[in-house]
Amino acid sequence: MTEHLDDKRRPRACTVCNKRFTSRKHLSRHVASHAAKWYSCSQCEKCFISRSILRQHMNIHTGKHKCTECRRCCKSSAELAVHRRSHSGEKPFECTVCRKRFARSDTHARHGRIHSGEEPYRCHVCDKSFSATGGLYKHMRVHTEEKPYRCSVCNKCFSDSSNLQRHKRVHSSGRPYQCRFCGMRFKASSDLKYHLRAHMYTKLYSCGHCSERFRWPDQRRRHLLKSHDEGTWFTCDVCEKKFFTRRELKWHSFRHEGVKPYVCSECPKRYCTTSALKHHLLVHSDFKQFCCGECGKYFKYKREVKQHFERCPDKVCLV
């Protein structure tokens, strides 16, 4: 019965994978993903599955739909109208459960699935479900191995635009975001915000069994495992050593296998962990990211900052 109802709601089927869609537009967009024919923008690295979507995107570069308040360019007049609500504060869509209001209808619909637990978008390959189409589109690239986002410097390809933006920081030597307490610099504002919590002593994560609070989620997880025996340890199959996170176990297993997957781009040296590789890359760079909060002197390694402060026990720089 469910299959017949679904056929009525989604009358158009893909001839390749038999996935069904409600409109011809969605079906043609899906068929283009099988053909793997991408249309790239001449102004940036973004790629699209149809010329019509590319033409809409080009409006951003030409400034056809520009906001008069912040000069932001949108791809359509409808998107511009929605964007203007960020300046006016208008939120016409209200959740009937928690009374939270939203400026966009799609955000309002996505929020509603938090209360209902609905995941209507299903992968036809592995049957995994998603609450939003964006999550499904990103997931499908795992099966198709499509990587439409290309780095303009090294031509490395990525399946997600956020991964490409994160990768671009490798080629950039600048660190524009500086901590006002210790002078440490970062490439991304999100990294700075995460670092600032170490200075603010903000303990956002609380234990559900006692009154302890923690700054980081890993600290809370370690506390739950040690004090309340709640959670799952990750155990090595070779030496039965236990770890708090799956990543720690993965790096530990490399030692047993003799695998060093992280290779230096400047020399043939290899490392088991990304942190060890990042520490080694400082040898090839003249960039000094650690700063003395008193005198403003920069250091390449964190240990050099500690040695510097040992000579200044009263936090008064003598150098």
Kindly list the domain boundaries of the chain, sorted by start residue. Answer: 1-35, 45-171, 240-284, 288-319
Residue among 2, 4, 3, 33 nearest 16 (CA): 33
| Residue 129 bridge partners (DSSP) | 122
| Residue 213 bridge partners (DSSP) | 206
Cβ atoms 276, 262 nearer than 8 A: yes
Continuous segment of H or E residues that includes residue 94: strand 93-94
pLDDT at site 1: 32
Secondary structure (3-state) at 93: strand
Secondary structure (3-state) at 190: helix
Helical spans, DSSP H, in 212-267: 217-227, 246-257
* Statement: 1-35 belongs to CATH 1.10.1740: no
Backbone Cα Rg of the chain: 25
CA dist 228 and 211 (Å) reads 13
- pLDDT (tens place) for every residue of the chain, 319 residues total: 334 434 545 667 777 666 777 777 777 777 766 655 577 888 877 777 778 888 888 888 888 888 888 888 888 888 899 888 888 888 898 888 888 888 888 888 888 887 777 777 788 777 778 777 777 878 887 787 788 888 888 888 888 887 787 777 777 767 777 877 777 777 777 778 777 766 665 677 788 888 888 877 778 888 888 888 777 778 888 888 888 777 788 888 888 888 787 788 778 888 888 778 877 877 777 666 666 655 667 777 777 776 776 665 444 433 3
Class in CATH terms, 240-284:
alpha beta
Residue among 251, 288, 280 nearest 264 (CA): 280
| Residue 94 bridge partners (DSSP) | 101
Model-wide pTM > 0.75: no
* Residue 251 burial (C-beta neighbours within 10 Å; 0-12, 13-18, 19+): buried
pLDDT at site 241: 86
| Residue 291 bridge partners (DSSP) | 298
What CATH number does the domain located at 45-171 have? Answer: 3.30.160.60
Decide whether 1-35 matches 45-171 in CATH topology.
Answer: yes
pLDDT at site 134: 76
CA dist 99 and 58 (Å) reads 37
The alpha carbon of residue 217 and the mean position of all alpha carbons in its chain are separated, in whole angstroms, by: 17
Give the DSSP letter of residue 317: -
